[in-house]
Amino acid sequence: MSSLLTEFVAAHERIFVLTGAGVSTASGIPDYRDDSGNWKHQQPMEYREFVERHDARQRYWTRSFIGWQRFRHARPNQAHQALARLEQLNRLTRTVTQNVDGLHQRAGSRQVTELHGSLDSVACLDCGTTIERASMQQQLVERNRLLADLSAQLAPDGDAYLNDFDASEINVPGCTSCGGIMKPQVVFFGENVPAARVEQCFNALANADAMLVVGSSLMVYSGFRFVRAAQRADIPIAAINLGKTRADELLTLKVRLDCATALNSVISKIDPQAGLVAQTKCDVVPR
Ligand SMILES: [Zn+2]
């Protein structure tokens, strides 16, 4: 299957890449869905609930305080590195990710659109004041010393499993400028991706001669719309995903492998430098 993927990548000069949770699972960040595309875990926070309910924000920030401590230590894996290398080789129009972990950039990719934003910063919903996530963490623990002693398993999107904890006493910091509600700069369920961000992705897709989906079940419309657009424009689509995707019947090629294995195999065959390294190794093989 990976040789067909290599052929697909080699046959196209400008590839539009869309990545999802599956690209980061090898970095220790859990994904949302099982192989059939169903929810594995608790449903993520909805935008309306977060904005309208103080108790929802207390729960969100408690779980997220704990999740962040592990999330921020995640490192890019071979799948992120392979995509960064494809960008260096000038083979990509853009890497669009549904993840909020920043791992593509840390692997060296520069042309990245974070479709759903990033957990790195937190903004006031009223006045727009933006602070770094580290500062929010600091404020949270200063007001709630007990948070320092909690631990829980990491959940998708920097969340944590902390179902039995009573968060009703948690003091959630407001905006330091106006006292407004602080929200991480990620797109919550029930919230729209900013139009300018979507347009940037469509422009990159328009300049592509192929689309590659990496580790996404495409169940969320924000990513699926690009597959639809590619199909309408007769742009061939390949996907690497262990499980079912919403677009299976639209795909030119489906590769059921983990993302790191599949992309490593591609890079080892099409990267001229990988070839040189292999060549050098052959040269020094003892007779
Ligand atoms: Zn404010």
Q: What is the pLDDT of residue 40?
A: 58
- Which of these, 113, 102, 108, lies nearest to 88 by C-alpha position? 108
Q: What is the pLDDT of residue 220?
A: 86
What angle in degrees, to the nearest 10, is found between the helix axes of 259-270 and 2-11? 50
Strands laid side by side in the 182-186 sheet: 130-132, 117-124, 182-186
C-alpha pair distances (Å), 194 with each of 96, 115, 230, 250: 14, 9, 20, 26
CA of 174 to the centre of ligand 1 (A): 8
pTM for the model: 0.88
Give 164-222 pLDDT, tens digit per residue: 778 889 999 999 999 999 999 999 989 999 999 999 999 999 999 999 999 999 988 88
Average of per-residue pLDDT values in the chain: 89
Q: 95-122: b or e for each residue (b if 16 or more CB lie within 10 Å)?
A: bbbbbbbbbbbebebeebbbbbbbbbbb
- Which of these, 197, 209, 148, 194, lies nearest to 16 by C-alpha position? 209
- Which of these, 14, 46, 3, lies nearest to 212 by C-alpha position? 14
Q: What is the pLDDT of residue 52?
A: 97
CA of 126 to the centre of ligand 1 (A): 5
- Is residue 212 within 8 A of residue 205, CB to CB? The reply is no
CA of 272 to the centre of ligand 1 (A): 51
CA of 279 to the centre of ligand 1 (A): 58
Query: Residue 41 above 70 pLDDT?
Result: no
What is the SS3 assignment for 120? strand
Reply yes or no on whether 12 is catalytic.
no
Active-site hit among 12, 80, 104, 116: 116
CA of 93 to the centre of ligand 1 (A): 37
CA of 203 to the centre of ligand 1 (A): 33
Q: What is the mean pLDDT of residues 226-254?
A: 96
